[in-house]
Chain A
Amino acid sequence: MPIKSEPVEVNIGPQHPSTHGVFRMVAMIDGERITDVKMIVGYLHRSMEKLAEERTYTQNIPFTDRMDYLAAMTSNLGYCLSVEKLAGIDVPERAQVLRVIFAELQRIASHCMATGAFINDCGAWQTPVMYTFRDREKVLDLFEMTCGARITTNYMRIGGVAFDVPDEFLPALDMLINDDLPFRFEEYDQLLVGNEIILMRARDVGVVSPEMAINASLSGPMLRSAGIAWDLRKADPYSGYDQYTFEIPVGYNGDSYDRMVIRIEEMKQSLRIIRQAVHILPGGPHKTEVPLAIRPPAGEAYSRVESPKGEVGFYVVSDGGAAPYRWHVRAPSLINLSVLKEMTVGQTIADAIVTLGSIDINVGEVDR
């Protein structure tokens, strides 16, 4: 008869230093091992889908910034693409290239945040977060230069982008992507990828098998770390992504370490894309003229975009009116959490925190 240790219920969150926002995980632990995990979300639920039904299509764009507030540009892009698909609006060439540039810059900023927070969960005293945030600041300065806001950018419009880039944008972007960021990413490679303690803490922690990844409809780094080469920019090229040559990094056994290394590699690939995009940036209008209260024909459209967290999809149903009849968002953070239980049960609390950090959820997107 082993020494009886009664299971203890431990609350991780909502005010917990390492959960990303107000996300609460109730874990039943026996000694060090977790026996059961229950997820409680909804602390940040603003019922955006109900609000969107009472605002015009253009007024809904700011909602997309505040969902995944770490990747506002890609959410804007997803929503504008679905409305353009519904209303059959074509986007000028310059706008498409600008959209790609800003989407990739946003990916770099979001992955910087994700990598820094993940290492912080492994226990490093905020040192990596400071470095990754320093690089993220430079990207946000570029956003502020063009659209005035750093995080809730609200930069994309139906039919193109809100403003054309100012003159000093391109030289600043050129200096950033050629002289500054490549050396930073080399630093991350040396510091983080080979670090033995991170290897010990992240290897074989939160493992997802390829079958489970597909069955649980995971997307983004979660899917690619399980060994499935699936990236929407290659599978369903939108906004001119097929003209650029870049590669998708794919992991081997779906553990937290693979996800971290994939995010760092993706940042390098984004740099490649931005260089090619800047090279072929054409002149011309940055937006087609679209009436402010656009009334797309009755019908529905579903379009999706590869955001740093995964596949962000917008399912817009219109009844011909000025406001969408139904406005649904496929939130990758919420769906990526469906495997949290399979990944953490049986491991220790420390591993559960590391696994949660590697999934890289954004509670604004989970709760909408």
Chain B
Amino acid sequence: MTPRPLTLITDNWYDIRDLSNLSGKIEELIRDANGPHWAVWVVSALLGAIGIVAFIGGVAIINIWIERRVVGRMQSRLGPNRLGPFGLLQPLADAIKLMQKEVLQPKAADGLVFSIAPIAFTVPGIVIMAVLPWGRNMSLARLDVGILFILAMSSLGALAVFTGGYGSNNKYALFGAMRVIAMLVTYEIPSVLALLGLVLFSGTMDLADMVLFQEKFWIPLVLVQPLPFLIYFISSSAELNRTPADLAEAESEIAGGYHVEYSGMKFGLFYAAELINAVAISAIIATVFLGGWWFYKLDELVPGWMIFIGKIYAVYFLFVWTRGTLPRFRIDQLLAFAWKWMTPMAFANIIVVAAEVLIWDETGASAGLVLPLYIAFNMLFAGVLIVAWVRFMGPRFSRFPDRLRYFDRIDVPSLPAMRAPAPAAAAPKSGSGAPARSASEGGGDLRGGRLVGGPRP
């Protein structure tokens, strides 16, 4: 490990900048007490797991508060500020409310599947956290196939959503589940290709190595690869069911989507899972695009994992920002957007990145010369592609001039008298399609001087 010149606190166990020292110290203790070989593994795994679960627990609560406050501020209102200072106890109140609510299960629902769905939906979000590098050598599992592991886990989410929709035996829920699966599977392809571009450029799939790559070349990958950042951000916001793609629980259309039948803590778990997945995805973006714990030597002074959490919440703010402002896509527009724009852009991007890496390796040029050149080219390339898409492939509204016409007096064009759609001229007295509301249906009448029965079809 390279020696770090600017170390204020020497490398012993209470150096909080890198908690691996702590676990290293504990391993030493076990070896001194010559415990069994596997005990070291178990202890370090437990330490990492406890760290992650604590982070997840804290995040699930804090994010509810952050999201409601930030979206509130965007809508020029205050957001929760009644419970506790600045409304900090509001998420706690929500959690308690959800816990004491009765968990209903529809009678004909598929019990086993119905209760497994929220758990299966939460697992990917938590498991992804294990692979992320929180500090220089502080990552629970330094998998050699880190990014592939992330993709595999996030692809499990689609199935969990289906089990939720199918299990609750409700027409709307199944409707929502089918929509969401179509969307998730469609948006998996652009996100895989976008990350492939990054793997190509940094030459490794291990996330910790990627951060070291960015530290070595002293540049966050978002500058070098702007297009994959855009593609991954949009496709992950679709995968997380967040506006502008929150088709699943589009209240104005089908009410509630796949978690319409859930109540009590099961719904709470679905809600928390959404937040945890959002944090997991923003953690991935922070690691891969913004250079996780590294920030131009800042990680000497400030603990690496604090920088990392700062970056996570920077990306998370982006998600909340889009949620607060953008209206929702329609399902077919969303899928067309994925197939017609995102996937071809991702393919084009991979080709360009491959060419760049090839040039870099063949010429063996120094990074100082090559990287700025690549940054400029990639930015230009992204801009050209976007403009080209908007001009040619995007929804064409050219035939409707946007500005309105203004008249200072009435002007009605003389139009031919329109033949209304001729209903059956000699329709029988009670109208052709006599609806089911015939008088014989009975119902409200003037019994006992009280008007009985409200308006009914």
Contacts and interface: CB of A to CB of B under 8 A. Distances in A.
Q: Establish whether A and B are touching in the complex (CB under 8 Å).
A: yes
Nearest to B179: A32
A13 to B, nearest CB: 11
Contacts of B325: 124, 127
B93 interface: no
Given A125-B323, A250-B406, A200 B333 contact: yes
B253 interface: yes
Interface string B391-416: 00001010011101111111111011
Interface in B408-434: 408-413, 415-418, 420
A288 interface: no
Interface in A4-25: 8, 10, 16-18
B279 interface: no
B75 A130 contact: yes
A50 interface: no
A126 B250 CA distance: 13
A197 B326 contact: yes
A195 to B, nearest CB: 7
Identify which of B77, B244, B327, B332 gathers the most chain A CB atoms within 10 Å of its CB.
B327
Contacts of A350: 250, 252-253, 330-331
A198 interface: yes
18 contacts: A17-B255, A26-B457, A120-B252, A121-B252, A123-B328, A125-B323, A127-B74, A134-B76, A210-B413, A211-B416, A212-B418, A214-B418, A229-B409, A229-B411, A230-B412, A247-B408, A257-B400, A349-B253
Given A247-B406, A248-B406, A195 B327 contact: yes
Contacts of B254: 10, 349
B252 A17 contact: yes
Interface residues of A, number: 64
B178 to A, nearest CB: 10
A1 interface: no
Interface of B: 71, 74-77, 171, 243-244, 246, 250-255, 323-333, 395, 397, 400-402, 404-413, 415-418, 420, 435, 454-455, 457
Nearest to A209: B418
B412 A229 contact: yes
The 5 closest A-B pairs by CB, nearest first: A123-B328, A130-B75, A211-B418, A229-B407, A18-B252
Contacts of A249: 404-406
A177 B416 CA distance: 42
Contacts, number: 146
A8 B330 contact: no
A286 B457 CA distance: 48
Interface string A229-265: 1110011000000000111111111000110011001
B77 A130 contact: yes
Contacts of B253: 349-350, 353
Interface stretch (A35-43, A63-71, A141-149, A155-163): A35-43
Interface string A261-280: 11001000000000000000
A328 interface: no
A252 B405 CA distance: 8
A32 B418 CA distance: 31
A55 interface: no
Contact of A197 (B250, B329, B412, B418): B329
B322 to A, nearest CB: 10
A200 B329 contact: yes
Contacts of B324: 125, 127
A197 B397 contact: no
Interface string A84-122: 000000000000000000000000000000000001111
Nearest to B252: A18
A224 B413 CA distance: 12
Contact of A215 (B243, B401, B418): B418
Contacts of B76: 130-131, 134
Interface string A51-72: 0000000000000000000000
A230 B331 CA distance: 37
A250 B327 CA distance: 25
Given A123-B244, A125-B324, A130-B77, A32 B331 contact: yes
B410 A235 contact: yes
A201 interface: yes
Contacts of B331: 32, 348, 350
Given A201-B330, A229-B409, 19 more contacts: A32-B332, A45-B455, A122-B327, A123-B244, A123-B327, A127-B74, A127-B325, A197-B329, A199-B397, A201-B327, A201-B328, A210-B413, A214-B412, A247-B407, A250-B404, A252-B401, A253-B400, A258-B404, A265-B404
B328 A122 contact: yes
Contacts of A18: 251-252
B50 to A, nearest CB: 36
A42 B456 CA distance: 9
A262 B403 CA distance: 10
Nearest to B337: A200
Nearest to A212: B418
A214 B416 CA distance: 10
Nearest to B435: A38
Contact of B171 (A8, A40, A351): A8
A227 interface: yes
